[in-house]
Chains A and B, each alone.
Chain A
């Protein structure tokens, strides 16, 4: 069915939910569907999602401070206003606030769950299994998940926001990150994501890494658009000496070909973008309520302390290690095709 109305439910903190949702939405929009993405992330107001989505897709940003009852009301209004032919729910089968669970059995549209790893305690305690039964299709994008053995579950490659031909070349990416064309040293990038505190912490880690590595490698602190960038330049004085300033980069996937070592956390997008582009990753597993970053990270990626992280990065900078091969395979495109075939054309 061409030109169907889609509502993609991407509620949740951080950037992971809306990034994955937009990866799907832009492919669906290019196929002629009319897509609405709903997010309540604190990052969403500052991130130019519409620029990557293009025509045919719309983002509805809920106030991140809305109470549970207000979220339920907003979701009901959206369902009523959009009247989607397919509802795609990212990560939370019951809805972030549990608000979808009582609605799902009565919703007369195709229902698709983007099914990923979830805290087993939550799965057991909130009877997530019952909510899963209300979905027509479970898409498992690139990592294991509680109900990945379900008969209606289909695995795909990871979903990324940009297609392979949208990544910058290595030279373009290094230039974008402020590395001179004749500078052949390996580039270390520290990804700021998760929440405001962790974005700032990424800056502190980048500064300490630059001190540790000295002239052997330039270090960059990557940050998405947000309040950590001054609205205008400070009126007096130069930036604090030796403190790295953030480089405004979003989507970070675009510059990944220019990064030789990525430092970050274990969120879905950071990890999948590093693996798909073949970029060595050294990451701290951050505490999350639902997402288990320590489970997602491989032993060679996981640093248990900042000291270990510093040592691992220094070791990678030393003898130049080759990047792993790229493994891009367009998981979001496969997902849209699956939704069209098994839900919209059913």
Chain B
């Protein structure tokens, strides 16, 4: 039995509310030391690391933050939209904005995964 099997994966996840993944962990990330499940384990430079460290490792130190956009594809203008984009007051400062959602906000967003988009014509 894996020594990690009783420990939950510690990688942060969640679309609305950031929380530890919690699935059974099978490895330790050599960079951050977190317990990691199979789903949050990935390869980077031939080493197995957690997805959080992989994302940090992907950042190009020479990247000045500017992006190029393809004017034929509107999704190029959408990449950083969510809660909200980089040009918004919601997005300034740290990721721990005091306006961040809490679980109490979840009720008003409960349809986010709803498959009834474009089906319920009175539900907008």
CB contacts under 8 Å to A, within B92-124, are: 98-99, 101-102, 104-105, 107-114, 116-124
Q: Is the CB of B124 within 8 A of A14?
A: yes
Query: A123 contacts which chain B residues (CB < 8 A)?
Result: 78, 81
Confirm or deny: A42 has a beta carbon within 8 angstroms of a beta carbon on chain B. yes
Q: Is the CB of A293 within 8 A of B122?
A: no
Q: Is the CB of B78 within 8 A of A129?
A: yes
B88 to chain A, nearest CB (A): 5
Q: Is the CB of A294 within 8 A of B101?
A: yes
Q: Is the CB of A17 within 8 A of B105?
A: no
Confirm or deny: B75 has a beta carbon within 8 angstroms of a beta carbon on chain A. yes
CA distance A206 to B53 in the complex (A): 52
Confirm or deny: B3 has a beta carbon within 8 angstroms of a beta carbon on chain A. no
B104 to chain A, nearest CB (A): 4
Confirm or deny: A122 has a beta carbon within 8 angstroms of a beta carbon on chain B. yes
Q: Which of A71, A120, A129 is the one whose CB lies under 8 Å from B74?
A: A129
CB contacts under 8 Å to A, within B45-91, are: 71-75, 77-78, 81-85, 87-88, 90
In this complex, the member of B81, B112, B114, B119 whose beta carbon has the largest number of chain A beta carbons within 10 angstroms is B81
Query: A223 contacts which chain B residues (CB < 8 A)?
Result: none
Nearest A residue to B118, CB-CB:
A98
Q: Which of A17, A149, A293 is the one whose CB lies under 8 Å from B124?
A: A17
Query: A66 contacts which chain B residues (CB < 8 A)?
Result: 121
Nearest A residue to B78, CB-CB:
A146
Nearest B residue to A293, CB-CB:
B108
Assuming the contacts A146-B78, A299-B99, asked whether A126 and B122 have C-beta atoms less than 8 A apart, the reply is no
B112 to chain A, nearest CB (A): 5
Q: Is the CB of A126 within 8 A of B118?
A: yes
Nearest B residue to A99, CB-CB:
B118
B70 to chain A, nearest CB (A): 11
Q: Is the CB of B121 within 8 A of A290?
A: no
Q: Is the CB of A68 within 8 A of B121?
A: yes
Nearest A residue to B105, CB-CB:
A294
Assuming the contacts A12-B124, A17-B124, A299-B99, asked whether A144 and B90 have C-beta atoms less than 8 A apart, the reply is yes
Confirm or deny: A285 has a beta carbon within 8 angstroms of a beta carbon on chain B. yes
A282 to chain B, nearest CB (A): 15
Q: Is the CB of A289 within 8 A of B74?
A: no
Q: Is the CB of A144 within 8 A of B73?
A: no
Query: B71 contacts which chain A residues (CB < 8 A)?
Result: 151
A73 to chain B, nearest CB (A): 13
Query: A47 contacts which chain B residues (CB < 8 A)?
Result: none
Q: Is the CB of A132 within 8 A of B74?
A: yes
Confirm or deny: A133 has a beta carbon within 8 angstroms of a beta carbon on chain B. yes
CA distance A132 to B105 in the complex (A): 29
Q: List 12 A-B contacts (CB under 8 A).
A: A120-B83, A121-B113, A129-B75, A130-B74, A144-B88, A146-B81, A149-B87, A151-B71, A153-B77, A289-B114, A291-B124, A295-B90
9 closest residue pairs by CB, A with B? A285-B108, A12-B124, A129-B75, A129-B74, A98-B118, A149-B77, A132-B74, A304-B104, A294-B105
**What 20 new A-B contacts, CB under 8 Å, besides A119-B111, A147-B81, A291-B124?**
A13-B124, A14-B124, A17-B124, A41-B122, A71-B121, A94-B118, A97-B119, A120-B83, A123-B81, A125-B117, A132-B74, A144-B84, A146-B78, A150-B77, A285-B107, A287-B107, A287-B110, A288-B124, A289-B111, A295-B83
